Amino acid sequence: MTLPHLPMDRENPFDPPAGLASARDEGPVVPMRFPDGHRGWLVTGHAAAREILASPLFSNRPELTRSIVSVPGGTGVGTTAPPGMFSRMDPPDHTRIRKLLTRWFTVRRTRELASRIERITDDHLDRMAAHGPPTDLVHAFALPIPSILICELLGVPYAQRERFQRDTAVLFDLDSQPDRVNAAWSSLGGLLSALAREKRLRPTDDVISELVGGGDLTEQEVVMVAIVLLAAGHETSATMIAHGIFALLRHPEQLARIRADPPLVDKAVEELLRYLSIFHIGPARSALADVLVAGQLVKRGDTVAISLPAANRDPSEFTNPDELDVGRDHNRHLAFGHGIHQCLGQQLARVELRVGLGRLLRRFPDLRLAVPAEDVPVRGNIAVYGVQSLPVTWGQR
């Protein structure tokens, strides 16, 4: 049986669509119809997902892959990635650009940033305390912390946050009309082009200055690299912080475990990444040759949609996968992907999450929702799944 589309309907904001588990019951790789009519594949198994993401026989290039979900103005197969969009390139183009960025996102570099992350986090906790309850945790806490960090790394003025946050939201929204998408690309491009020219004249210690001064990339490539890093560097971490807190507040027994054993926050972060899997659509790959995956013959040219939420709930990989267990030991989740396209900023995201969650829970030990859970607005038709806002309160009941 061929799935008519990617299952998207959820019964609650923490579990993947039930249709994904049903598809996995049929097998780890099942036929699926894409919006343009293409008969490709949906991967729900953990082992199969890792295999495809690590295989050079599958391409990430947009002109070879079909759109997984319908978007306004979409035609199925995409166009060639613009210069610098390394996230949608195969080697050697991907390798050429990514190697220029690696040193900025190593484990060592991230550890060096830990004290800065702690200061930014404490500053926003102070502001929350001074403001008093209730507050929207997204805009008061979850969004500014990664936004400030990625701005400082890239050399983007934080004063431009309203502009780039607005434009990024448009690009991530699957319902955005083509004219709004084009306007958002143009706005981000204009902002970062002007900044690149400024950095060429007056360089500072940041990613954009290094890329501009290195001479390895064209200015167009530098601008696109900056757009990719800026957009992904704040939106995903902000969503994960807010949605992770929402999940803990709805699982008080797990929250109590972290409060009783604060070092447990490290494992809790990995478990929340697995359990929530906020990158819920794709990634997609196109077969460059006939390949046998989990007993299915994926033919050359077939597009494969990999469901990270389904793979991260695969019972063949995880014990009691549908349970949130903040002390989980065996946790080879795929929340950051796998292979050469594994998230470049994953170590930075981990530290932001560990510091943010740990310090928030310590500062406000009685943090709780300020509205009924069913009234918390969740963004579903968007590339990164999570809460739109998270009203919280603390103090006297």
CATH of the domain at 248: 1.10.630.10
Contact 298, 41 (CB under 8 A): yes
User: Does residue 10 sit within a domain?
Assistant: no
Let me know if residue 247 belongs to a domain: yes
266: left (phi over 0), alpha (psi -120 to 50) or beta: alpha
Average pLDDT per block of 10 residues along the chain, 397 residues long:
92 95 94 95 98 97 93 73 95 97 93 94 98 97 97 96 94 93 96 96 96 94 97 94 98 97 97 97 96 97 97 97 96 97 96 97 96 94 94 89
Q: Which H or E element spans position 214? A: helix 207-214
Q: CA nearest 123: which of 370, 389, 388, 356?
A: 356
pLDDT attached to residue 397:
66
Give Cβ neighbours of residue 263 (< 8 Å, ≥ 6 apart): none
- Report the half-sphere exposure of 311 (CA within 13 A, side-chain side): 31
Q: Is residue 4 part of a domain?
A: no
CA distances from 111 to 108, 229, 351, 393 (A): 5, 19, 8, 31
Q: Is the peptide bond before 263 cis (omega within 30 degrees of 0)?
A: no
Q: What Rg, from alpha-carbon coordinates, does the chain have?
A: 21
pLDDT at residue 327, rounded to an integer: 97
Q: Which among 229, 248, 230, 250 has a CA at the least distance from the CA of 240? A: 248
- Report whether 334 contacts 278 (CB < 8 A): no
**pLDDT score recorded for residue 396:** 75
pLDDT at 71: 84
pLDDT at 72: 84
d(CA 251, CA 313): 18
Task: Give 167's contacts (C-beta < 8 A, 6+ positions apart).
Answer: 184, 185, 187, 188
Instruction: Look at strands 284-287 and 386-387 and give their pairing.
Output: unpaired
Q: Give dist(CA 90, CA 32) in Å, integer.
A: 24
Tokens of residue 211, six digits = 């890329």
C-beta of residue 67 within 8 angstroms of C-beta of residue 36: yes
Residue 101 within a domain:
yes
Q: How far apart are CA 278 and CA 32, in angstroms?
A: 22
- Closest CA relative to residue 276, chosen from 324, 348, 326: 324
Q: Say whether 58 sits in a helix, a strand or coil.
A: strand
Q: Is 296 helix (H, G, I), strand (E, B) or coil?
A: strand
Residues with catalytic function: 232, 235, 237, 343, 352
**Contact at 8 Å (CB) between 109 and 117?**
no
Q: Is residue 5 part of a domain?
A: no
Quick one: pLDDT at residue 77?
A: 65
Scanning the structure block, which residue is given the tokens 């799944």?
A: 385
Collapsed DSSP state (helix, strand, coil) of residue 7: coil
* 154 within some domain: yes
Compute the distance between CA of residue 79 and CA of residue 64 in angstroms, rounded to an integer. 8
Residue 9 lies in a domain: no
Token representation of residue 15: 């579990």
The Cα–Cα gap between 208 and 226 comes to: 7
> What does the pLDDT read at residue 359?
97
- The answer to whether residue 7 sits within a structural domain is no
Say how many domains are in the chain: 1
Element (H, E) at 285: strand 284-287
The whole domain housing 103 covers: 18-393
How many angstroms separate the CA atoms of 142 and 245, rounded? 10
Its pTM stands at: 0.96
